[in-house]
Amino acid sequence: MEKITIKKDLFCLPWTQTILGTHLEGNVNFMALDWLTRVNYQPPMLGICVNRNNASSTAILDTQEFSVNVPNEDMVEITDYTGIVSGKSVDKSDLFPVFYGELKAAPMITSCPLTMECKLVKTVELPTNNFFIGEIINIYTEEQFLTDGKPDVKKIKPFLLTMPDNQFWSIGKNVGKAWSQGVAMRDRLNKGQKA
């Protein structure tokens, strides 16, 4: 079928929904955060994209620390709320019970099944956003979210955001095993068989 072009911000890669935790002028603050990724393998680093005008951007530049919190499906409403009111005008410090790890300005949300505390290592200034690269100092979870000692996505129950339809989605069914199904294909190709 014919290819067509669409508006350049109209694309719906699903992003995992997280909540960014910072200290804004000494006060705990939170913001819904969708644009983030691993940016380095060793040591493990996360990169997060924050609008330069957001209070969270000021907070990170000030303290050089932040947390990334992964809410579960039961936290959709409160997560969305953190993204629609600004820390400049609304005090969000009482929204969640928090705990701290090694860092002083990376408040983590106790009710989130998975949380990370990060230390800023680099800020990339882009036209409308700051891209903050942080080294993951520690990851926190609970025994109930592990299977064989590893985080289990079906127990953690994160959710996803797609834009521009602005819908939240759960994780669906298993559709395969990575670094496994491709091995079988490689072996067939090596034997001169069809892919």
The nearest distance, CB 48 to a copy of itself, in angstroms, is 8
**CB nearer to a copy of itself: pick between 7 and 191:** 7
Q: Which of 109, 36, 108, 113 is nearest to 72 (CA)?
A: 113
The nearest distance, CB 132 to a copy of itself, in angstroms, is 10
**CB nearer to a copy of itself: pick between 104 and 186:** 186
- Alpha-carbon gap, residue 138 to 10, rounded angstroms: 35
Inter-residue contact 137 to 119 (CB < 8 Å): yes
**CB nearer to a copy of itself: pick between 41 and 192:** 41
The nearest distance, CB 120 to a copy of itself, in angstroms, is 13
- Alpha-carbon gap, residue 34 to 14, rounded angstroms: 9
**CB nearer to a copy of itself: pick between 32 and 64:** 32
**CB nearer to a copy of itself: pick between 64 and 83:** 83
Burial 52-86 (b: 16+ CB within 10 A, else e): eebbbbbbbeebbbbbbbbbbeebeebbeebbeee
Q: What residues have CB less than 8 Å from 46, skipping those under 6 apart?
A: 36, 37, 38, 39, 68, 116, 118, 133, 134, 136
Which secondary-structure segment (H or E) carries 119?
Answer: strand 114-125
The nearest distance, CB 95 to a copy of itself, in angstroms, is 8
The nearest distance, CB 26 to a copy of itself, in angstroms, is 22
The nearest distance, CB 174 to a copy of itself, in angstroms, is 6
**CB nearer to a copy of itself: pick between 83 and 120:** 83
